[in-house]
């Protein structure tokens, strides 16, 4: 992909403090490619913000990305940031339309690395059919940051049929996971400095908005709640649902898909895949009688082939998540405590 | 103000990596006050994003704040962040309505400092009549950040009479500065480690949206362009206008207000106040025949008492800003080069 977006000719090959000072160097950095690369009529106004109309219900979300390392198997912080915010909007039942992009760069970041990240941002935004319309660039001294932190905020149009609202969740509702769990977290762990194993695993970072929108087209209000189980993993996301609904969550271990390599790495590291961060999957709470239909449709859509019903909402054990194991045992799955995987997103 | 918002009882007194891991500690940090402090119906849904209606034209802006020191005379990074994004929206002719709030915390930040910043955010948002509706909290290891970085993005409603568009700027249009320049930058410089002077100066950080809206009510399309001259100062903001309009900008030194103490500090430090960052003022390009009326009204509004017409748009010297000095000299004022004041916002 990057063949079509070569690094522009520049007078500098690393980021300096001057690039964040708001003067000539900041302008050179932006003019010398950033604006051209991400070109669209709203960004082209180059004002302090973008102005547009967006009728109907609007969703608004933000996330800052501090993942380390910045480049990892399957992607880099740029596309992760776009996909992450696009997916947060998708979990509100919204299609991302307009994104903001704010960089905190560490003095000394190579221009080539910055450019590679920008190119990934461009393509990730295109794939999500969202426009980067406003932005900001700050630079901090060496040792006061870590290469690059990115904030992507976004506004999107909520699907007219969406009724994503956890207060609609009832006992009997089914829990669907859209794919294999724990892949992103273990892919990152595999390249973290000082770790003793390597895998061929890649992060599954991707946008989920098109898939979610197709499901909303067809099933509307039968989709009661959506959540992407990023930091804290599936266990923390389900615990939040149990806490907020004051209902119980029951999941079946045999239904939860974990790649063999991920399971092996988790065993070696003493991690439970239920707590490992995900980027390319979502959890759905679906109306009891419609869950099978939704699942069948999801399995035909991009990023949904491995979807499965992994459990259900129950009246028993309110506010608790209980795992039924393959061998017939049961255990309470609590929220993540401590810091299993710092800076995973 | 902080008397009414005491630090809640907590099991921890500093931020740890676990507070950014998305599990129990993250939830404790948020539950133990953040959500209560910033309480509103949209934030209370605690979903991945906020959902609302916002008819009419919408403005959308983002800024990350990395100011050092975090606490400074006249404010802290929290209110600076809210005011900064509120003002970026105001420069689009919009009233901030909904804000996002994303923290990158450095491990070891004291909970008391974080709380003081949060309380400032609360009051700054209230003063701007904007709601914090969605957020994110990340934690990075000690030495990979610098206490706290904050991103505030915002969406606002554009004033129905606003026609803020630099393509409408014509020769003869007048340039209004809403107050004294260079105050914020010098207030920060005065407390930067290793600097040899001290002043009683305070940052002028404030929200400008109510003042701008009142002017738009009355003067609408006669207000052609607005810009807050933050990083890079008045000189860089005017140079961008000259570059983008391909017209000349003429400013009169005698009309540009600089506090005596600021001028003294600039002289001592070898700085030109035209390049020093501002937070509490804006520049306006006003229709020639209406500028005096606008000025008179602005002088009656909050933060406008010291407003002045500082220059005009001219056909001569296209793309250049020329300063007419008190003693009759002329000099070209170019865009800021280099990094006069890193991390000033």
Q: Is B275 an interface residue toward A (CB < 8 Å)?
A: yes
- The whole-number pLDDT of residue A197 equals 67
Enumerate long-range contacts of A25-30, CB under 8 Å, 24 or more apart. A25/B337, A25/B338, A25/B339, A26/A137, A26/B231, A26/B232, A27/B240, A27/B335, A29/A137, A30/A137
Measured between CB atoms, which of B59, B144, B277 is closest to A146? Answer: B144
Task: With a cut of 60, say whether residue A231 has pLDDT above it.
Answer: yes
Is residue A178 within 8 Å of A143, Cβ to Cβ? no
Chain B CB contacts of A22 below 8 Å? 230-233, 236, 277, 336
Pairs of CB atoms within 8 A across A/B: 276
- pLDDT tens-digit readout, B161-203: 999 999 999 999 999 999 999 999 999 988 886 666 667 889 9
At B3, the pLDDT band (50, 70, 90 cuts) reads very low
At A193, the pLDDT band (50, 70, 90 cuts) reads low
Q: How far is B157 from chain A (nearest CA, A)?
A: 9
| Alpha-helix runs per DSSP H in A67-131 | 77-91, 111-128
Whether A102 and B151 lie within 8 Å, measured CB to CB: yes
Phi, psi of A2 (to 5 degrees): -75, -10
- The whole-number pLDDT of residue B194 equals 61
Q: Is B18 an interface residue toward A (CB < 8 Å)?
A: yes
| Mean pLDDT of the region B318-342 | 90
Query: Which pair of tokens denotes residue B338?
Result: 């280099």
At A2, the pLDDT band (50, 70, 90 cuts) reads very low
Task: With a cut of 80, say whether residue A199 has pLDDT above it.
Answer: no
Task: With a cut of 60, say whether residue B2 has pLDDT above it.
Answer: no
- The reply to whether ipTM tops 0.90 is yes
At B275, the pLDDT band (50, 70, 90 cuts) reads very high
Omega of the bond leading into A69 within 30 degrees of 0 (cis): yes
- pLDDT tens-digit readout, A23-75: 888 888 888 778 989 999 999 888 889 999 999 999 999 999 999 999 999 99
Chain B CB contacts of A40 below 8 Å? none
Is residue A100 within 8 Å of B60, Cβ to Cβ? yes
Whether A275 and B23 lie within 8 Å, measured CB to CB: yes
Phi, psi of B225 (to 5 degrees): -160, 145
Measured between CB atoms, which of A21, A59, A102 is closest to B63? Answer: A102
Q: What is the separation of C-alpha A35 from the centre of its chain, rounded to a whole number of angstroms?
A: 25
Measured between CB atoms, which of B54, B140, B244 is closest to A66? Answer: B140
- The whole-number pLDDT of residue B1 equals 44
- pLDDT tens-digit readout, B121-161: 999 999 999 999 999 999 999 999 999 999 999 999 999 99
Measured between CB atoms, which of A27, A56, A60 is closest to B155? Answer: A60
Cα(A82)–Cα(A175) distance, integer angstroms: 26
Query: Which pair of tokens denotes residue B94?
Result: 């919009």
Omega of the bond leading into B69 within 30 degrees of 0 (cis): yes
Residue of A nearest to B343 (CA): A140
Whether A155 and B18 lie within 8 Å, measured CB to CB: no
Measured between CB atoms, which of A22, A227, A341 is closest to B236? Answer: A22
- pLDDT tens-digit readout, B9-43: 888 899 999 998 888 888 888 887 789 899 999 99
| Mean pLDDT of the region A171-181 | 98
Q: How far is B109 from chain A (nearest CA, A)?
A: 14
Task: With a cut of 50, say whether residue A322 has pLDDT above it.
Answer: yes
Entry pTM: 0.96
């Amino acid at each position: 992909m990057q063949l079509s977006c070569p690094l522009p000719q520049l007078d500098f090959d690393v980021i300096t403090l001057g690039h964040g000072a708001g003067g000539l160097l900041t302008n050179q950095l932006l003019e010398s490619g950033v604006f051209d690369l991400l070109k669209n009529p709203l960004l082209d106004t180059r004002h302090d913000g973008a102005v547009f109309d967006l009728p109907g219900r609007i969703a608004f979300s933000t996330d800052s990305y501090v993942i380390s390392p910045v480049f990892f198997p399957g992607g880099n912080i740029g596309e992760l940031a776009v996909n992450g915010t696009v997916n947060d909007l998708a979990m509100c039942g919204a299609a991302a339309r307009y994104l903001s992009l704010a960089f905190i760069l560490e003095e000394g970041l190579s221009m080539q690395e910055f450019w590679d990240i920008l190119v990934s941002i461009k393509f990730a935004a295109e794939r999500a059919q969202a426009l980067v319309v406003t932005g900001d660039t700050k630079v901090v001294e060496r040792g006061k940051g870590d290469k690059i932190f990115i904030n992507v905020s976004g506004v999107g149009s909520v699907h007219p049929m969406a009724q994503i609202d956890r207060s609609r969740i009832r006992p009997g509702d089914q829990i669907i996971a859209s794919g294999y769990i724990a892949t992103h977290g273990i892919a990152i762990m595999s390249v973290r400095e000082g770790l003793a194993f390597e895998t061929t695993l890649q992060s599954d970072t991707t946008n989920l908005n098109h898939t979610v929108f197709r499901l909303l087209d067809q099933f509307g209000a039968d989709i009661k709640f959506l959540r992407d189980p990023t930091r804290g993993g599936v266990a923390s996301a389900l615990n939040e649902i149990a806490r907020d609904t004051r209902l119980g969550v029951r999941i079946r271990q045999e239904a939860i898909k974990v790649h063999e390599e991920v399971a092996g790495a988790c065993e070696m590291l003493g991690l439970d895949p239920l707590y490992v961060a995900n980027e390319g999957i979502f959890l759905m709470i679906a109306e009891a009688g419609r869950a099978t239909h939704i699942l069948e449709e999801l399995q035909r859509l991009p990023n949904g082939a491995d979807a499965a019903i992994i459990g259900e909402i129950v009246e028993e054990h309110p506010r608790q998540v209980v795992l039924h194991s393959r061998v017939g045992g049961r255990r309470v799955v609590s929220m993540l405590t401590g810091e299993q995987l710092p800076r995973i997103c």
